[in-house]
Each structure stands twice: as structure tokens, then as C-alpha cells.
A and B are shown apart, each in its own frame.
Chain A
């Protein structure tokens, strides 16, 4: 987001002739590719879950289908962000019957490039927790 702003102002000042400088463009794409925006990812996942599980009650037979749809659609949307990451998406659906549920995650990775986000969603009959881990490909 920041880099885009900088790019546009730079072009305004320098004029259209220097807008195609290859070095500047490479820097901008590298910076945009290497940052994982957790808020953006969680909003994507939340939207997917809302669409798929929004109006349904827990059904043991159909939950497999829903879950694979949630995981697959969120992964597709994450890939559309065109960032150099490997993604892991895990989805947990639990029926609401008074039981507690705890999830914990722990990773050995580079904190400066890799990130994760968690989305917790529930309706009348079930809980849904989606974890997204983004691991950078480049150093």
C-alpha cells in the first residue's frame, strides 16, 4: 500500500519518461510481494466462511463438503493476492454442544517475513476456526 503511494507520487514529480525505470519497479514489486497482510487475509477468509456456512446448521454428512469448500476458496483468494508465499490453511468445525475447544499453534520460522492469522466464526449450531499460515519462499 505504502509502496504504491510512493510510486504514484514519484511518477508525478519525475514525469512520465522516468516512470519505466526498471530498478524502481523491481524494488516495488519485491517489497509488495514479501509482506503478508494479516487483516486482508482474515477478511478474505471471513467472507468465504460467511458465504458457505452462513445460513446452514451443522450436518454431519455435509460438513466435509463445506469444509473443503471453505479451505479451497480461501486458498484460491489468497493466491489471487499474488504474493510469494507458501500457504497452509487449516479449518476446524465443531458442533455446539457445550464442549470447549482450544487451538494453539507454534512455528519455527522467520518472524520478519512469515506470518499467520486466525479467524474464529460461529453461528447457532457450530464453531469454525480457520488458521492461515503464510511462509515466504524467498529469503
Chain B
């Protein structure tokens, strides 16, 4: 019975740690505005980066034992004694000071096992052992799909920039938002084991020449990219997405 409860608690805690993966996008922005520029008319040039990764928090299994033991004791007592709220009801009835004395033993008292010298005895943390997948590449129908990615990029650019005018102050944030949006959309649709790198370029139309080029060192069978561009009267935008397979 005790073992069963322990197993249940352990699995539920595993579930909760997996669900509580902090998806905190760490952001570092490099603003490269042309402050000391000879051309007073020339606009700002800024670069923003944002990366997003999954970091597993350290598992906390040490307290489970104590929770388990306490709950076991509690359940047993509660079947005998009618007072559910006080685990030491018998002592309590004899001497009400005993409870407070017991609580003031120290922080270890709540953590289940205590060694002879008074230090807590922690159980060794069990590591999850994963089986080998024996997969050397992506599954046949689970490759990065450049056609679908390109359609997605075109749709996003068209819907978000259709009625937008260039503004030197807000366009930097707009570009960052667009690239975040593209990343999150692609993260949903891209197959597992793929890393996604999105970059967005947003500029003002002033009859200038612009060229964008990209070259990669990667596995041409599994990795791929998509790009799309959009322009209206005041601004142009280029969005690029690279999908890289990793094992």
C-alpha cells in the first residue's frame, strides 16, 4: 500500500515537472542605431535577436518521501481517530504543549528521515533512463516542409503588414513581434527534432537598393529553408526561416 502511494506520488510529480517547463524567452536586443552618422537624414538600423529554448528544471524528489510518510500515517490515524486535522491528537489530548514542542524540533523534523546526528537523510534521486530510439534521421513524412513554411510566411506578412505604415520608432518592435510570431507558428507545425531559426527584415521604402542573401553549412537532405517578402507603399519586409534537423 505504502509503495503504491509512493509510486503514484512520484509519477504525478514527474507529470507536474514536465508540464511546468519554463518557456521563458530570453531576449537580447542589440540596437544599432546610426547615432554618429554623417547623414542626418538616414534612418536607424537596428538588429534584434530572441531565442527560445527548453530548459529542464532540476527535479525535486527529496521531499516526496516525507509527504508520503506523513500521508500514510495520517490516513491510518484518521481511520482510528475521528479528528482528521490533528495527526497527534492523542498526545494533544494528554498535553497540549507537546505539539508545539514537537514542531520546534527544527526544520528536519518535517522531512521524514533524520540521521542519528540530526542531519536529513535524502533518498538518492532516480534518473530517468530512456531507451534508444535507433533513429538515424527524420521519418519520411516528418521533414521540414519548405512549401508550407513559405505559404505561412506569406500569409503572416500579408495579414500583419497590409495596413501598416513605416514608423521609425515602432517598426523595430514590429519586426521583433513578427519574428516571434513566425517562430511560434512554425514551432507548432514543424516536426519534432527540428530547430527553427527565423529572421525578419523590415525597412523603409525610399527608392534604395536592398539585397538579402543567405548561405548555410548543413545537411542538404534534412535541413531546409523558406523565405517570403512583402512590400507596400512605405515599407518592405523579408522573412526567412531555416529548419535544422538535430538528433
Q: Is the CB of A106 within 8 A of B182?
A: yes
Partner pick for A118 among B30, B179, B211, CB 8 A cutoff = B30
Partner of A105, one of B42, B200, B223: B200
For the complex, is B221 an interface residue (Cβ under 8 Å from A)?
Answer: no
Residue A31 at the B interface, CB < 8 A? no
Interface membership of B46, Cβ < 8 A: yes
- Contact between B198 and A87, CB atoms less than 8 A apart: no
Report whether A71 and B214 are in contact in the complex, using a CB–CB cutoff of 8 Å.
yes
Given contacts A100-B166, A106-B176, A137-B246, contact A118 B47 (CB under 8 A): yes
B-contact 0/1 string along A92-120, CB 8 Å cutoff = 11111111111111111111101010101
Interface residues of B in 148-204 (CB under 8 A from A): 166, 168, 171-172, 174-176, 178-180, 182-183, 186-187, 195-204
Q: Are A129 and B45 in contact (CB under 8 A)?
A: yes
Question: Which of A102, A112, A124, A129 has its CB near the most chain B CB atoms (within 10 A)?
Answer: A102
- Inter-subunit contact A135/B197 (CB<8 Å): yes
Chain B residues in 8 Å Cβ range of A133: 197, 242
Q: Which residue of A lies closest to B239 (CB)?
A: A104
Q: Is A67 an interface residue (CB 8 A)?
A: yes
Complex partner residue of A92 from B50, B196, B201, CB under 8 angstroms = B201
Q: Are B246 and A136 in contact (CB under 8 A)?
A: yes
Range class of the B interface residue count? 35 or more
Contact between A108 and B178 (Cβ–Cβ < 8 Å)? no
Q: State whether A88 touches B246 (Cβ < 8 A).
A: no
Contacting residues of chain A (59-79) with chain B, CB-CB under 8 angstroms: 60, 63-64, 67-68, 71-72, 75, 78-79
Whether B211 lies near A64 (C-beta < 8 A) is yes
Closest B residue, CB atoms, query A131: B199
Chain A residues with CB under 8 A of B182 = 106
- How many chain A residues sit at the interface, stated as a range, is 35 or more
Q: Which residues of B contact A109 (CB under 8 A)?
A: 51-53, 195-197
Closest to A94 in B: B210
Q: Does A90 contact B (CB under 8 A)?
A: yes
Interface hit among B31-39, B95-103, B109-117: B31-39
Determine the residue in chain A with the shortest Cβ distance to B219: A86
Interface, chain B (partner A; CB < 8 A): 25-26, 30, 32, 34, 37-39, 41-55, 166, 168, 171-172, 174-176, 178-180, 182-183, 186-187, 195-219, 223, 240, 242, 244, 246-247
**Selected A-B contacts with CB under 8 Å, 10 pairs:** A75-B217, A86-B216, A89-B216, A93-B209, A94-B203, A99-B203, A102-B174, A106-B25, A108-B52, A118-B30
Name the 3 nearest CB pairs between A and B, nearest first: A100-B43, A99-B206, A104-B175
With A86-B223, A106-B199 given, name 10 new contacts (CB 8 A).
Answer: A71-B213, A71-B214, A71-B215, A95-B208, A102-B46, A103-B201, A106-B183, A112-B53, A135-B195, A136-B246
